[in-house]
Amino acid sequence: MAEPAALECGIYVSSLTLTDFRCYDRAKISPSGVHPLVVLAGPNGAGKTNVLEALSYLAPGRGLRRAALGEVTNQNAKGPWAVAAELSLEGESIRVGTGLEAAESSRRLVRIDGETASNSNVLGERWSVTWLTPQMDRLFIEGPSARRRFLDRMVLGLYPDHSRQVGAYERVMRERNRLLSERGVGADAAWLSALETRMAEHAVAVAITRLDFAGQLAGQLEAADEGPFPKAELAIDGWLEGLIAEGAAATEAESAYKDKLVASRQRDARSGRASEGVHKTDLIVTHAPKGMRGELCSTGEQKALLIALVLANARLQAAQKGLAPVMLMDEVAAHLDESRRRALFEALASLGSQCWLTGTDQSLFNGLEGRAEFFDVQDGTIQPLHT
């Protein structure tokens, strides 16, 4: 009997090669793409999450662990780490490579079909990668910075330029902080004013994009069918986002924020950091059926809320771009009851793109035989698992 054909819609990774990456000297995994789900099964510490982390470097940014690039290199490596992948994007084959420029370097290289890219932002232009990890289970009870990063990562799926705007804002903010820390309010006024003008321009661009995305995601959450993952309500809690939401034009918001920066120079000089701006924004998530904020929900409800957000984001990308993201789900099934696991697998399989899942207990994936590809991960080796 002929082998079934690979998927022709969406995006999937047909080949992934790791070189001197974490626990892997060299490893290769080649899913056929026949099924949308790829399951990595194996004990704790075998290297499953390392595979997902490698896949996360097919997107802009610092990967799902947010590790420094040098920390990713295999301890016994003599050279820099590298990740190479072949992607199938709606039937088109694309070769992607990324890794450290050199063993002692802190610069990340990206190549697409053999051409070197100027930076990693190009990885978000045609496809996106999103993930859910056990560390994110604390999202609602941690500080605003984790939720803000989570929001900005989702925004990237629709607005690839968002990371450039966020990065530019943070660079200019650090420059202003340094100038105020070193010279106080007696710093060169023209220099400070120029920095604050640039901060305001980037901040307003970031705020507008966040608001636009949150509105679209809220629509997806509201339109979702009733099921095991609750409807969620979203709010962006930030001074600048609030000003724009109330109707301020972009130029008015820029002027108002610049005035606020000027007024806070003395306080910021004392503290060494900017006291106002989009770097303070928080994402507020409410369990709609209960009318209860996420941080007040039970652990199980928080997990269900988080999954609802991730699925809504994937559906939004599929609706707006015609292409769902590659999904990386690390140990996501471990703390779900059977009905929620079944619902999650059905939702992931129906998105149209590939989803990678990990688990220590293969029984969690019972019922996926014939609908998923299984790989056994043991001590830094990856082998197809015939179920």
107-113, Cβ contacts within 8 angstroms, sequence gap of 24 or more: 107/69, 108/69
Q: What is the pLDDT of residue 145?
A: 97
Residue 287 lies in a domain: yes
Residue 78 lies in a domain: no
Q: What is the pLDDT of residue 380?
A: 87
Q: Are strands 108-112 and 92-100 parallel, antiparallel or unpaired?
A: antiparallel
CATH number of the structural domain spanning residue 193: 1.20.1050.90
**Which domain, by its residues, includes 166?**
137-322
* 5 pLDDT higher than 70: no
Residue 154 lies in a domain: yes
Average pLDDT in the 198-226 region? 96
Residue 211 lies in a domain: yes
| pLDDT tens per residue across span 104-157 | 777 899 999 999 999 899 999 999 999 999 999 999 999 999 999 999 999 999
| pLDDT tens per residue across span 298-343 | 999 999 999 999 999 999 999 999 999 999 999 999 889 999 999 9
CB 373 within 8 A of CB 34: yes
Query: Greater confidence, 9 or 312?
Result: 312
| pLDDT tens per residue across span 60-110 | 999 999 999 999 999 999 889 999 999 999 889 999 999 998 877 778 999
- Strands (E) across 75-119 are located at 82-89, 92-100, 108-112, 115-116
Q: What is the pLDDT of residue 387?
A: 56
CA 359 to chain centre: 20
Tell me the three state secondary structure of residue 147.
Answer: helix
Q: Alpha helices of the chain — where are they, by DSSP H? A: 48-56, 144-156, 162-183, 189-223, 239-245, 250-263, 265-271, 299-321, 338-349
Q: pTM score, two decimals?
A: 0.94
* 38 pLDDT higher than 50: yes
* 6 pLDDT higher than 80: no
* 232 pLDDT higher than 50: yes
* 7 pLDDT higher than 70: no
- Burial of 272 from C-beta contacts in 10 A (0-12 / 13-18 / 19+): exposed
Average pLDDT in the 360-383 region? 91
Residue 331 lies in a domain: no
Count of domains in the chain? 1
Q: What is the pLDDT of residue 102?
A: 82
Residue 75 lies in a domain: no
Q: Which segment of 221-225, 256-260, 270-274 scores lowest on mean pLDDT? A: 221-225
Residue 285 lies in a domain: yes
